[in-house]
Structure 1
C-alpha cells in the first residue's frame, strides 16, 4: 500500500503513482494533481482546503491512501465543527477528541463517545406514522386510497396507523452514521468494535435507502434531549464531504472536511450567538441582498445583522485563507465595499483565519465607508476564540442598538 502524506495548503509533493490513479485524482479535484515533468511516472500533488483521508483502488495495483492533515490542531478543528453544529455541545463538554492527531480517528472517536452517551439509558422509542396495504384493519382506513386503488373491494385495506417502537428517524440517522463510520479508513479497531456494538442495538431501525441524499427528519424535544449531541454529529458525518465513487476501474472511498466551510460556519454561528445579547436578528448567507436596483445581481454575505426595527445594522464575511503572503487580499475589500453600499451600511467586517497579520481598518475615499479586517488565530483555546468573536460583535453593535 502506498500512503501519501499531505498538509492542508502545504507545498506540493512528488509521488510515483499509476497514471490511472493520477488522472483520477486530477479529475476528482480532491487535491491539485499534475504529472511531474522531472520524474518519470511521478505526479505532483498539492492539498487545498480539504482534510481527511481517501483510499484509491484499481485492479493490478496496490491501494493508494491519501492523508491530508489540517494546519490547525485536530482538537481545535473539531471544536469549530461542533460549535457550528450546536454551540451547546461543546459548552457541555459532550465531545472530546484529544487522543488522536488524525482527522478520521478523531471524527470516529468524537461520534462514538456521543453515541455511547445517547444510548446509555437505552434505545429511544417513539411513534412512527405508517401507511400501508394490509389484509386486516389497523388504525384508520384511508378511504380515498381504498376507492382509487381497489374500486370497491373490501380487501386488501389501505390503512394508516402510528406504530410505537425504535424504528424512528433518530435511530435511523444514528444507524446510518455508524455504518458510514465503519467503512472509513484509519478508524482504530477499538473504536470500530464499540461502533459495531452500538450498531447492533440500532438494527431495528430501517437502514437508509442507498444513494438517497435526504436524511430522516427529526425535531428537538425533551424526549430526545440525550440524543441531540449524537444526532447533530451524525448529520455532520452524513452531510459532509463523504466520497464513494467508482469511475471505470478506479474505486475511491474516504471522507474529507472542507476547512473553508468549517471556518465560515463557525464564525457565523459564533457571531450570531454573540450578537444575540444586542437584540435584533442575524441572517446567515443572507438571500435578499442585491447590488442593483433592478435586483438582477444577487449577493450572499455570510452574515447580516438586522436591528430591532428590521433595518441592516452590520455585515460580516468569513475568509479562511488570505491569498497574499504579505497581508490581506485586496479583492475582499472590494467585495465588502459592495456589500456595504448595497445594504446602506457605514462599515463592514472581514474575518480571517490568520493570526500574524495585525487587524486593519480602511476608510474608503469619497464613500465614508470603513472596512475592518480581523485576524483569528485558530491555535488559541476555545475560550480565547469565542472572546475574540465577542469583541468583534461589540464593535459591530456599536454603542447604540436600534
Structure 2
C-alpha cells in the first residue's frame, strides 16, 4: 500500500507521486489544491487549505491513496473548539479527551471517539421507542387501514400495522455505529485503537447501519440519553456534511474533514452568544441583511447582537485565514464597513485567529464608524481563550452604553 501523504494546513505546496484520477478527485472535491507537476510525470503538487483530517481515495487498478492534513493549532485545542461549538455547557476542556498518546489528528480522533463511546455504553446500550410500520401475519399496535386497502384489496391477511417498538435499534446507537464504521475504513488508525473500535462495533451490532449518503437520523438531547451526549457530538463531527464520502463510478473517496474556517466561526459566534446569555439581548447567526434600499445586495454577518426590540446593536465577523505579508486583508475592513453602514452601527468587530498581526482599531474617515480587529491566540488554554472572548464582549457592551 502507498505510504500516506502528510500535509499541513496552509503550508507551502509539496510534490507527491499520485495516479492522475486521484489528483483530479482531490482537486475537484476541494479537499486540497492539486495540480500536475509539469516537470515530473505522474507527480502532483498538493497544498492544503483550511480543511484538516484524513481521506482515502480508491481508484481502479491502483493502490489507495491516503491524504492526512494536520491542523496548525494543537490537537487538544481543536477538540475544545469543536466541543464548545457543539455544546458550550459540556465543552471538552484539557484532559477530558485524552490525546497525549496520539499527536496526529486521525489517531487522536479515533482514540477519542472510541473512549467516549466506551463511556457511553458502560451501563449498556440505550433503549428507546422506535416507530415501526410493517406487513405482519398478526395484529400488533394499530392497523394502517389505507395501506391495507391499497396493498391487499380488502384481504384480512397479511395485515399492515404500525406500532412503537422498545429497542436498541434507535437513532443514537445507529449514529455511534456509523462513526465507528467510518473510522474503521480509514488506514492510519493505530492497531490498538482499531481493535477497541471493532469491540465497540460488536457491542452496537443490533443497530442498523446507516445508508451511505443519507441524512443522519434525528435525535433529541434529554435526561435519558445524557450519558451519550459527548459520544454523539464526536460521532456527528465524523459524519457531518464536512466529511468526505463520494463514489463517482469506480472512484471512491472516504474520510472525514474539519473546515477550520467554519470551526473557528462556530466557536467565536457561540462564545459571543454565551457571553450575553442571561441578558435581554439576543444573538443572530448568519442572519440575512441587505446593503441597499432595493434589497438587491445581500449580506450575512456571522454575528449580530440585537436589543429587546430586535434592532441591531453590534456586529462581528470571525476570520480564520492566512494573513497577507502586510497584515490582515483590507477586504475584511471593507466588508465590515458595509455591515456597519447597512445596520446603522458605529462599531464593528473582526475576530481573527492570531498570526503575526496584533489587535488594532481603525476609525473610518468622514464617518463615526470604528472597526476593531481582535486577534485570538489559539495556542492559549480554553480558560484564556474564553477570557479573550469576554474582553471582546466588554468592548461591545461599552459601545452600547455610548
Q: TM-score, normalised by structure 2?
A: 0.92
> Residue 2 of structure 1 contacts residue 63 of structure 1 at CA under 8 Å; is this kept in 2?
no
Q: TM-score, normalised by structure 1?
A: 0.92
Q: Distance in 1 between matches of 2:324 and 2:115?
A: 40
Partner deviation per Cα, 1:310-340 (whole Å, 9 max, x = no partner): 2111111110014412211110011111111
In the TM superposition, 1:383-402 aligns within 5 A as: 383-398=383-398
**Secondary structure of residue in 1 paired with 2:238:** helix
Partner deviation per Cα, 1:20-73 (whole Å, 9 max, x = no partner): 433333333322222223445432221111112233344554443322221111
> Residue 78 of structure 1 contacts residue 97 of structure 1 at CA under 8 Å; is this kept in 2?
no
Name the residue aligned to 1:126: 128
Q: Distance in 2 between matches of 1:280 and 1:298?
A: 24
In the TM superposition, 1:216-365 aligns within 5 A as: 216-247=217-248, 250-287=251-288, 289-365=289-365
Return 5+ residue gaps in structure 2 as ranges: none
| Structure 1 position 15, deviation (Å) | 2.5
Task: Classify 1:273/1:144 alpha carbon distance in 2 versus 1 (closer, same or farther; 3 Å).
Answer: same
> Residue 136 of structure 2 contacts residue 159 of structure 2 at CA under 8 Å; is this kept in 1?
yes
Task: Classify 1:113/1:64 alpha carbon distance in 2 versus 1 (closer, same or farther; 3 Å).
Answer: same
Q: Which runs of 4+ in 1 moved over 6 A?
A: none
Task: Classify 1:40/1:183 alpha carbon distance in 2 versus 1 (closer, same or farther; 3 Å).
Answer: closer
Q: Does 1:109 align with 2:111?
A: yes
Q: Does 1:195 align with 2:197?
A: yes
**Secondary structure of residue in 2 paired with 1:272:** helix
Task: Classify 1:377/1:216 alpha carbon distance in 2 versus 1 (closer, same or farther; 3 Å).
Answer: same
| Structure 1 position 380, deviation (Å) | 0.9
Q: Distance in 2 between matches of 1:32 and 1:246?
A: 20
In the TM superposition, 1:1-12 aligns within 5 A as: 1-12=2-13
Name the residue aligned to 1:205: 207
The RMSD of aligned alpha carbons is 2.2
Partner deviation per Cα, 1:223-276 (whole Å, 9 max, x = no partner): 111111111221111105322334566443332221111111111111111121
Name the residue aligned to 2:68: 67
Task: Classify 1:97/1:279 alpha carbon distance in 2 versus 1 (closer, same or farther; 3 Å).
Answer: farther
Select between 344-353 and 278-287 the one with higher mean Cα deviation: 278-287
Return 5+ residue gaps in structure 1 as ranges: none
Task: Classify 1:142/1:41 alpha carbon distance in 2 versus 1 (closer, same or farther; 3 Å).
Answer: closer
| Structure 1 position 90, deviation (Å) | 2.6
